[in-house]
Chains A and B, each alone.
Chain A
Amino acid sequence: EVQLVESGGGLVQPGGSLRLSCAASGFTFSSYSMNWVRQAPGKGLEWVSYISSSSSTIYYADSVKGRFTISRDNAKNSLYLQMNSLRDEDTAVYYCARDPGSSSYRFDPWGQGTLVTVSS
């Protein structure tokens, strides 16, 4: 069974940093592009970042560019999101999601999410 499990969320002060992780299982992680998508409380979905299977291609949403860094470790079947200079508006549930193949530009499946709260 394909499974994605996020971790690393929590409460952080504005200006602080946090590193999210996503552990993948049930598929050949190194063959798939991955994404982070977030959802602020009571709001819609917002794509955050994309990384190709070999890490050769990376994209960021304008709202996080220069502050967030996506990375992966294919040997550990893990995806990461390093978040620096956090702002109140970064408060959200963060989901990791797989691109199901051949740069299909969609998300399937999703992890259960991890909540990041930025507050003083």
Chain B
Amino acid sequence: SYELTQPLSVSVALGQTARITCGGNNIGSKNVHWYQQKPGQAPVLVIYRDSNRPSGIPERFSGSNSGNTATLTISRAQAGDEADYYCQVWDSSTNYVFGTGTKVTVL
């Protein structure tokens, strides 16, 4: 089965850049989507198909995908960006797969 690995936590200073990685075998050949989940709330899509932002998502959120790693980048981090972030792909053998999740803390 296909697996996605994320760091458990990432800390970033206010106004600085956070990078969250999502590792998977040849993930660069797949479309990667990213979700933000704040405590007690449902997840929200923040990046789709590697690097596209849905309407209403700030330009500070960006994504890339190559080789065995996809990356979600949060520029000029704000206190409101504190949340859990999950990557997700579709795999023909496993169907939908989520990453293990990363807790982002803004210091």
Contact = CB atoms under 8 A, between A and B. Distances in A.
Given A44-B86, A105-B90, A110 B98 contact: no
Interface residues of B, number: 23
A80 to B, nearest CB: 19
A69 to B, nearest CB: 16
Nearest to A35: B96
B96 A50 contact: yes
Contact of B48 (A104, A109, A110): A104
Given A61-B95, A107-B88, A45 B33 contact: no
B44 to A, nearest CB: 7
Contacts of A110: 42-44
Give the most central of B42, B54, B88, B98: most A CB within 10 Å: B42
B45 interface: yes
A109 to B, nearest CB: 8
B43 A106 contact: no
A47 B97 contact: yes
Given A45-B86, A105-B90, A106-B48, A111 B42 contact: yes
Contacts of B78: none
Interface in B1-51: 31, 33, 35, 37, 41-45, 48-49
Contacts of B88: 45, 106-107
Contacts of A59: 95
A110 B31 CA distance: 19
Contacts of A45: 35, 37, 43, 86, 88, 98, 101
23 contacts: A44-B86, A44-B100, A45-B37, A45-B88, A46-B98, A47-B95, A47-B96, A59-B95, A95-B42, A104-B48, A104-B49, A105-B31, A106-B48, A107-B35, A107-B43, A108-B45, A108-B48, A108-B54, A109-B42, A109-B44, A110-B43, A111-B42, A112-B41
Interface of B: 31, 33, 35, 37, 41-45, 48-49, 54, 86, 88-90, 95-101
